Structure 1
Amino acid sequence: MPPASLRQRFSASTKRQLVEVATREFAEHGYRGTSLDAVVTGAEVTKGALYHHFSGKQALFEAVFTRVEHDATRRIRDDMAGVEDPWEKALTGLRAFLAVVQEPTYQRVVIQDGPAILGYERFREQEERTSFALVHDVVVTVLEASTDELDDAMRQTFSQIFFGAISAAGESVTTASDPAAAVRRIEAAIGFILTGLRALSDQGIALTDPG
């Protein structure tokens, strides 16, 4: 019998391979059009190996969803890294997000199938750990550049509002007949809002907490 560490590496490699193949299958065929037989064939493993790692198709989909979300969030953060100005950082993050939502894998797995397959509560839990956490970080950075008079509850409120707007924007890109035009409109609209907030800040008009 191979050493435990070798077995663990082999097991981890098998799991990664299953998720990689499943990502391609779910992206191309959607959840309902994907079979576990196709996944194990593509991964060159047995169905028993799949069930060793995942309880079933939905659990495998959730692993794919998590991977796609984490990859997207990492790429957006990478694009923002090194941008010092908080307002420009927010715009850079917006542009990176709008690039992500035009990708077929993200559209199919996260936007189209995610809510229906995971269910609303589970979908939101996943979003809060990835996309919302990213939006919250950016919004807090922008708000701190504008005022120090807002408490955590107001920062959370701003984050929820912007996250809702950005999520809706992502969905609208997916369904648009001209995605490129939709992206330009969204970038202009949210850019206008950020420019307005920055102008108020530059004029010394601070956001205040209503109490």
Structure 2
Amino acid sequence: MRSRRLDYSESTRSALVESAVELFTKRGYASTSLDEVAKRARVTKGALYHHFAGKQALFEAAFESVESLVYDRLEKIMTGPGTAWERALGGLKAFIGSCLDPAYQRIAIHEAPVVMGWERWREAEEQCSFGLVRAGLQLLVDAGEVEPVPVEVTSRLLFGALSSAATEIASAADPKKVGAEIEDVIVRMLLRVRRPAGEEAPERAAAGD
């Protein structure tokens, strides 16, 4: 049985993270105070310090929350119904859509590299997103949808391209237009390595001989 104290503690932490996400999105890290976060969450500043050592720790929790929402959305698509190709394109479209979200733009793309430091930010991004890129590409190769490219190297290149795409979208004067252009370019790149319909992978053809 869960204790009421544990439930209250978790709800307090969730309220603080939600408050932080909203305020960091609207005002940015530098212009947001812990007093404001606590006030919006309707808790005391002491309660905030019970859960977080300071402002940076709270920001990292907000970053993790925003990243988790994107990860869960993409994972649901990548493991859902449809062919490997359909899921890959659906995942790409969902990622581009996430890059248009104000919270993701402000917290995960603009603020995180500065607040967390570039190396830690890249490490966190890889832990959250790189696995999905690699798994998606592996599915495409295993399904015979694309040529048997080196999965690890190609995944790194794709991940780098998607990371750059996120920055371009978040910094654009017209994010929707840039997002559509980036989606089109990446699909064109994938089509260059897509196996023609009806053509078997060499290993499958050999196995059928």
Whether these two folds match at TM > 0.5 is yes
Identity of counterpart residues, as a percentage?
41
Deviation at 1:196, TM superposition (A): 1.6
Deviation at 1:143, TM superposition (A): 2.3
TM-score by length of 1: 0.87
Q: Is 2:142 the counterpart of 1:157? A: no
Across the aligned residues of Structure 1 and Structure 2, the Cα RMSD in angstroms comes to 2.3
Contact 2:109–2:167 under 8 Å retained in 1: yes
Per the alignment, residue 176 of structure 1 pairs with 172
Match of 1:48 among 46, 54, 58: 46
**Equivalent position amino acid for 2:153 in 1:** T
**Equivalent position amino acid for 1:184 in 2:** A
Deviation at 1:181, TM superposition (A): 1.7
Deviation at 1:4, TM superposition (A): 8.0
Contact 1:30–1:108 under 8 Å retained in 2: yes
Deviation at 1:160, TM superposition (A): 0.7
**Equivalent position amino acid for 2:138 in 1:** V
Deviation at 1:201, TM superposition (A): 8.0
Give the whole-Å Cα distance in 1 for the aligned partners of 2:24 and 2:201. 49
Give the number of aligned pairs.
Answer: 202
> Structure 1 residues 144 and 11, CA, compared in 2 at 3 Å: closer, same or farther?
same
Match of 2:23 among 16, 21, 25: 25
Moved more, 28-37 or 134-143: 134-143
Matches within 5 A, 1:1-211: 5-146=3-144, 154-199=150-195, 203=199
Which 4+ runs in 1 deviate beyond 3 A? 146-150, 199-206
Per the alignment, residue 206 of structure 2 pairs with none
> Structure 1 residues 199 and 149, CA, compared in 2 at 3 Å: closer, same or farther?
closer
**Equivalent position amino acid for 1:35 in 2:** S
Secondary structure of the 1:198 match is coil
Give the whole-Å Cα distance in 2 for the aligned partners of 1:193 and 1:164. 14
**Equivalent position amino acid for 1:65 in 2:** F
Deviation at 1:133, TM superposition (A): 1.6
Give the whole-Å Cα distance in 2 for the aligned partners of 1:52 and 1:148. 53
Give the whole-Å Cα distance in 2 for the aligned partners of 1:115 and 1:139. 27
Deviation at 1:81, TM superposition (A): 4.2
**Equivalent position amino acid for 2:160 in 1:** G
Give the whole-Å Cα distance in 1 for the aligned partners of 2:108 and 2:101. 11
Give the whole-Å Cα distance in 2 for the aligned partners of 1:201 and 1:144. 15
**Equivalent position amino acid for 1:157 in 2:** V
Contact 2:147–2:193 under 8 Å retained in 1: no
Give the whole-Å Cα distance in 2 for the aligned partners of 1:200 and 1:162. 21
> Structure 1 residues 48 and 35, CA, compared in 2 at 3 Å: closer, same or farther?
same
Moved more, 178-187 or 14-23: 178-187
Give the whole-Å Cα distance in 2 for the aligned partners of 1:24 and 1:55. 20
TM-score by length of 2: 0.88
